[in-house]
A and B are shown apart, each in its own frame.
Chain A
Amino acid sequence: MTGSRKWLAIGGIAAIAIVASLMSAFAGPPQAASAPAASQPAKETATQLANREATGKAPPGPWAYSGASGYTNYLGQGTGRSPVQPIAFPHPVHVNTLKMNCVFCHFAAGQSPDPGMPAVGTCMGCHQLVAVDRPEVKKLADYHTRKLPVPWVRVHKLPEYVRFPHMRHINAGVTCQSCHGQVNNMPQVFQYASLNMGWCVSCHVNGYSPAEGLRAAGYEPDSAALAAPRKKATYDCSHCHY
């Protein structure tokens, strides 16, 4: 008898699962279903492993799961996603070796909601002369001569109904690394934070600690940073959703 009761339970759960998947199949605009999930690694790839060793930081665990963009979800998005880029741009070389600042290329981050991607022309500003023989730079030059933009693959992506004004955060002193991780140590950029709503809100409500931000960026916080209070932000919905 216990046996047959068990089978009843299993049947019920199976039924619920089927209904749920039917529902989710209709969720959102259809193109979501046809999102290029295949191209995205569901499991951690060697690159990501390398990345993590390079940064020495593990991405948040499954507890950071989110339906929209948390741990790698069925759309192949979320923490740890590390798409292969058309040009293997080495952030470490530019930032660590050449000591270039983030906003040198992502010039709008401090003045616009959109951080801005450097124009091909901007890259060529240096690479007319510098390292012209490298294969990746050759690719770049090729794009430039053909007057085509570089089709970078997007790594950090918020849902379309979320407004994220970069400048507000930059000017509030939030270090880039707090959300993007130590890109300066990533051979290939991967998604560092879950970017889900709970992740945003926890910082808005509990406040952002400058010291932690600096540590995240790999610097030792100075006394001023340590002394600084946590910076809180609004939790009013209409500041991000409209």
Chain B
Amino acid sequence: MATLAPPSPHDAPHRPNIAAAGQPLPAIRDYEQVDREILATLRPTKGWFALLLVAVACLGLGIAAWMYQIQQGLGVAGYNPPVMWGVYIITFVFWIGIGHAGTLISAILFLFRAGFRTTIYRCAEAMTVFAVMTAGLFPILHLGRPWKFFWLVPYPNWRFIWPQFKSPLVWDVFAISTYLTISATFLFIGLIPDIATLRDRERNPVKKRILSALSFGWRNSEREWRHFARAYLFLAAFSTPLVLSVHSVVSFDFAMSLVPGWHTTIFAPYFVAGAIFSGMGMVFTIIIPIRKFFRLEHYVTLNVMDAGAKLTLFTSLVVGCAYLVEFFIAWYGAVPVEQDYFWNRLFGQWWWAAWIMLTCNMILPLSLFSQRLRRNPAWLWILSLFINLGMWFERFVIIVPGLSHEYEPWQWSGYIPTWVDYSILLGSFGWFFMWFLLFIKNLPVVAITEVKEIVPPKVRAGHRHGGGH
């Protein structure tokens, strides 16, 4: 009686992968197909185990290096006064930035009803949570006395003293802990219905119990859906200003000081744009392999890629503009110290870092003006790696040259990280990917129910289905 024959799992990926009006995912026929194909991604593979092993190994190295640093003192890292902040703070800002794209895609684009987010937002949101978890380690890790980090938290104590609330570092503590909590909650709320689906498909009784616990006994009742929608909407509404505030606050760490090159009013927007830019880079780095190896090309379609690439291009242009404005202000402001600093950044001591930054973040992304490249996953993936590199160096270029070339010429210096810095940097990637790998094989990387929402429901023969209006 149905006009369309139920599609077989085999031919699904081979369908023409282009957008049809009012039908974003033409290759998805019905709800069962969604369940089948998404659940299929959860089966662990050899390659996955191998990657997990590598991630854990890197993490181990990082932990070892940190223990050594705690025992010996921060001297084992490559600090070279007055460069008192180095790889750790750079990496901290880097990971915080990564997080932002996730929230942008999952929350802001949700509010803007941008359809292309549907299939990638779960991945991006998970990336956010793990990136912030990683970033959160670094402020503690770079302390001279890390075992005292809790003194930055306002808690009643027998000394009667409290944190100094005028310090940007205390702002950080609040901003980041809030950001972590809210995005973790946001991710988990979104997951509940999907976990319920997993629960219902699960055969293994132990796993079933765990999934039941995690799904909170969700049963897809219309009442649950109603409140769910509200809560989801408000969380999205909160996350939107939050994501803007968090990186602004991080930028205050620099803008509030009077270090040349840090003391700029442009920093808040500049950092937020940069954060989203770097985040898009990481999204592509992650989503493109997943799309390929999990056979999700007909979920994460080229249209999705295209839209993402446009967003990347846009943020890249914003960031590039910010770079140029910085130079303009330095020239126009005519403060000798600032001018010295920017000259030194571009043509002096740090030219190499600055040019890596400019190439990766300003020049290469211009290729995305070409639609062919925007729709070419391979190129997008390579470009995304360059973007990650470039954004790490952006933070390097902001932090190190400023400190090494300050007001006091007598105290000008250089900066060379040591093996400890690099090990801990590597360890942070290990930590991030460990969590991410565990995530993608235990929970659906594509939001099952949200995909079902945009798949046309079955209707009785003869009737037009009621969806879409």
Contacts and interface: CB of A to CB of B under 8 A. Distances in A.
Question: Is there a contact between chains A and B in the complex with CB atoms less than 8 Å apart?
Answer: yes
B129 to A, nearest CB: 16
Nearest to B157: A198
A4 B210 contact: yes
B158 A23 contact: no
A27 B217 CA distance: 45
A159 to B, nearest CB: 12
Given A1-B217, A4-B209, A4-B210, A23 B160 contact: no
B213 A5 contact: yes
Nearest to B140: A23
B158 A196 contact: yes
Contacts of B217: 1
Interface in A104-119: none
B147 A27 contact: yes
A89 interface: no
Name the residue in B145, B147, B217 with the highest tally of chain A Cβ atoms < 10 Å from its Cβ. Answer: B147
Interface string B124-163: 0000000000000000000001111000000001111000
B147 A1 contact: no
Contacts of A65: 158
Nearest to B212: A1
Contacts of A196: 158-159
B216 to A, nearest CB: 8
B147 A197 contact: no
B159 A197 contact: yes
Contacts of B158: 64-67, 70, 196-198
A8 B214 CA distance: 11
B199 to A, nearest CB: 11
A201 interface: yes
B213 A198 contact: no
Interface in B235-270: none
A97 B435 CA distance: 73
A26 interface: yes
Interface size class of B (residues with CB under 8 A): 10 to 19
Interface in B207-232: 209-210, 212-213, 217
Contact of A26 (B70, B210, B212): B70
B213 A26 contact: no
A197 B160 contact: yes
Given A26-B70, A70-B158, A197-B160, A4 B147 contact: no
Contacts of B8: none
B454 to A, nearest CB: 31
B156 to A, nearest CB: 10
A145 interface: no
B47 to A, nearest CB: 29
Name the residue in A1, A66, A67 with the highest tally of chain B Cβ atoms < 10 Å from its Cβ. Answer: A1
Interface in A3-43: 4-5, 8, 23-24, 26-27
Nearest to A23: B147
A65 B159 CA distance: 11
Interface in A64-112: 64-67, 70
A173 B123 CA distance: 70
A64 B158 CA distance: 8
Contacts of B45: none
Contacts of B210: 4
Interface size class of A (residues with CB under 8 A): 10 to 19
The A contact surface, by secondary structure, is helix
B370 interface: no
Nearest to A70: B158
Contact of B147 (A24, A70, A201): A24
Contacts of B160: 197-198, 201-202
Contacts of B204: none
Contacts of A24: 147
Nearest to A202: B160
B159 A26 contact: no
Contacts of A66: 158
Contacts of B212: 1
Interface string A49-68: 00000000000000011110
A8 B158 CA distance: 32
A14 to B, nearest CB: 18
A1 B209 contact: yes
B3 interface: no
Name the residue in B145, B146, B209, B213 with the highest tally of chain A Cβ atoms < 10 Å from its Cβ. Answer: B213
A218 to B, nearest CB: 28
B272 to A, nearest CB: 32
B71 A26 contact: yes
Contact of B159 (A8, A64, A198): A198
Contacts of B157: 198
Contacts of A23: 146-147
Interface string A123-135: 0000000000000
Contacts of A27: 145, 147-148
A86 B43 CA distance: 71
A23 B210 CA distance: 32
A64 B157 CA distance: 11
Contacts of A8: 213
B205 to A, nearest CB: 13
Interface in B56-112: 70-71
B213 A4 contact: yes
B204 to A, nearest CB: 15
A1 B213 contact: yes
A196 B160 CA distance: 11
Nearest to A65: B158
B246 to A, nearest CB: 24
A34 to B, nearest CB: 15
A197 B158 CA distance: 7
Interface of B: 70-71, 145-148, 157-160, 209-210, 212-213, 217
The 6 closest A-B pairs by CB, nearest first: A23-B147, A198-B158, A4-B213, A197-B159, A27-B147, A1-B213
Given A27-B147, A67-B158, 4 more contacts: A24-B147, A26-B146, A70-B158, A198-B159
24 contacts: A1-B209, A1-B212, A1-B213, A4-B210, A4-B213, A5-B213, A8-B213, A23-B147, A26-B70, A26-B71, A26-B147, A65-B158, A67-B158, A70-B158, A196-B159, A197-B158, A197-B159, A198-B157, A198-B158, A198-B159, A198-B160, A201-B159, A201-B160, A202-B160
